[in-house]
Structure 1
Amino acid sequence: MDNDTNPSYRIMVAVEDHELRRVAVAGLRAAGFCVSAPTDGDAAMMLAESFSPDVVVVDSYLFAPDGRPLHERLRDSSEQYLICITNEGQFRLRTSVIQSGADDAMSAPIHAEELAARCYALLRRPRQMRQRVETPMSSTIVLGPLVIDLGRREVRVDDEEIQTTRIEFSLLEQLCRRPTEVCTRDDLLDAVWGPKWVGDTHVVDVHLSNLRRKLDKGAPGIKVIHTVRGVGFRLANDVTDALELSPAMHSLS
């Protein structure tokens, strides 16, 4: 599996159950995929456009903002490969979601290696309608005044470039991939340092504190990162308020 997986492939995992999400995300990252993991329908709809995933793994019981099942809403609005996860034993529901447009279906509990194999099996199929730039991470996330160029690894706030270290950029990128959610320290450690990291979670606070100082100096009138005491970190309202107006990611050539 490791020899075949292209690390530029992006997977979005949209499930509510924490343990299911943890297993899926850890397994897909271990297989070499780039993974984003929103936990609600609002963030999933936005990231389906901004993250430009190649495969979407979605909980059959997660709903879009308009009240429809999320997998149906995603199928209507995109040509990304879609794997739907149902509860154990619900073969009729698995049949139904495939008939309604899902490319594959699995029942929980899932096995991470099987999920990764199914994702790669879908990616081996030609999909006539997919229009995707294959340059790894050649995209820009635009969230109001905050602009993250993933290809060039550049950060701009209110058109002011902010110099960041590799870890600072990666932490900010993770917050942007889950713009409507709080990222715990453990979430950020797993995403940036890897699931095998052994050490004090305070390292996250240190790097984010340094990043905040740079952001405040470069754009003093805009708050980018907000601390949720006892939980973790999220993007501040100065950034997320723009999501309702113009959430977008522009592919670069």
Structure 2
Amino acid sequence: MDHDSTITHRILIAVSDADLRRVSVAGLRASGFCVSAPTDGDAAVMLVESFSPDVVIVDSVLMSPCGRPLHERMRECSEQYLLCITDAGDDRLRTAVLHAGADDAISSPVHPDELAARCHALLRRPRQLHARPDGHVASVLVLGPLTIDLGRREVAVEDEEVQTTRIEFSLLEQLCRRPTEVCTRDELLDSVWGPKWVGDSHVVDVHLSNLRRKLDKAAPGTKVIHTVRGVGFRLANDVTDVLEVAPTPFAFA
């Protein structure tokens, strides 16, 4: 399959190390990828389907909610390219993840430029991926009462359409990509305004306050966005309770 260079390819990366996640996400975005980086097992498995990534990057030490290695669970539930990150010098594990279905494996420490290059190399391989009408992603995230159409950039809560600005939509999209996590103001600023933006982080609160008013007007009985004082924002329980389908907590091997 000849991948159209005009398409923004989508990467889902699930790793346990916060510094590795931050550096990898920044490097992949700088290379032109659209990136989602959940750290929760339920969210990672859910986003494989709803985020429709082209490449899934998984830390080999992460476990799925059912207690199995997350990379094995990802291989079972998706046909996307799968790249595993393994510990340095662990040749046996690197071989094992390849036998388990991974398309590529890379040892830590990981350089973001090499990670991006390996993703580009995978995308050059002739594999049939999900069709994209008109070269665009038409992915729809449905989280309980909240529906966000990433392709059409439309939002609805309790089936009531909500008109959003570009920034409001982008902020909500970032929260939905990490549905069970708290997004800090700095993370939202970096994702929506860009790493070179300079200004008061209070701008995040202003736009999310405006978005809240719109969501509350559309569905007065449903809370969509929750503020975590001193930290940032996350999706409210009214939205995330739908994710609680597996009682086994996310764990590391």
CA distance in structure 2 between the partners assigned to 1:94 and 1:139 by the alignment: 32
Q: How many residues align?
A: 241
Q: Which residue of 2 aligns with 1:40?
A: 40
Residue ranges of structure 1 left out of the alignment (5+ in a row): 246-253
Q: Which moved more, 1:166-175 or 1:146-155?
A: 146-155
Q: Which residue of 1 aligns with 2:123?
A: 123
Alpha-carbon spacing, 1:5–1:116, altered in 2? closer, same or farther (3 Å): farther
What SS is found at the alignment partner of 2:198?
coil
Q: Which moved more, 1:57-66 or 1:86-95?
A: 86-95
Q: Which residue of 2 aligns with 1:106?
A: 106
Of all paired residues, the percent bearing the same amino acid is 76
Q: Which residue of 2 aligns with 1:71?
A: 71
- Tell me the C-alpha RMSD between the 2 structures: 1.5
TM-score using structure 2 length: 0.91
CA distance in structure 1 between the partners assigned to 2:83 and 2:198 by the alignment: 33
Counterparts of residues 143-222 of structure 1 (less than 5 Å): 143-222=143-222
Q: Which residue of 1 aligns with 2:56?
A: 56
Q: 1:124 offset after TM fit, Å? A: 0.7
Q: Which residue of 2 aligns with 1:238?
A: 238
C-alpha contact 2:42 2:243 (8 A) present in aligned 1 = no
C-alpha contact 2:175 2:183 (8 A) present in aligned 1 = yes
Q: 1:133 offset after TM fit, Å? A: 2.6
TM-score using structure 1 length: 0.91
Q: 1:243 offset after TM fit, Å? A: 2.5
Q: Deviations over 1:172-203 (max 9, x none)?
A: 00101111111111211111111222222111
Q: Deviations over 1:68-92 (max 9, x none)?
A: 0000111122111011011222222
Alpha-carbon spacing, 1:163–1:131, altered in 2? closer, same or farther (3 Å): closer
CA distance in structure 1 between the partners assigned to 2:130 and 2:218 by the alignment: 36
CA distance in structure 1 between the partners assigned to 2:43 and 2:77 by the alignment: 15
CA distance in structure 2 between the partners assigned to 1:172 and 1:95 by the alignment: 39
CA distance in structure 1 between the partners assigned to 2:168 and 2:139 by the alignment: 18
What SS is found at the alignment partner of 1:156?
strand
Counterpart residue type for residue 241 of structure 1: D
CA distance in structure 2 between the partners assigned to 1:206 and 1:175 by the alignment: 16
What SS is found at the alignment partner of 2:106?
strand
C-alpha contact 1:223 1:236 (8 A) present in aligned 2 = yes
What SS is found at the alignment partner of 2:85?
strand
Counterparts of residues 17-28 of structure 1 (less than 5 Å): 17-28=17-28
Residue ranges of structure 2 left out of the alignment (5+ in a row): 246-253
Q: Deviations over 1:190-230 (max 9, x none)?
A: 11111222222111111111111111112111100001111
Q: 1:137 offset after TM fit, Å? A: 2.5
Alpha-carbon spacing, 1:42–1:137, altered in 2? closer, same or farther (3 Å): same
Q: Which moved more, 1:55-64 or 1:186-195?
A: 186-195
What SS is found at the alignment partner of 2:127?
coil
Q: Which residue of 2 aligns with 1:132?
A: 131
C-alpha contact 1:5 1:32 (8 A) present in aligned 2 = no
C-alpha contact 1:21 1:37 (8 A) present in aligned 2 = yes
Q: Which residue of 2 aligns with 1:248?
A: none
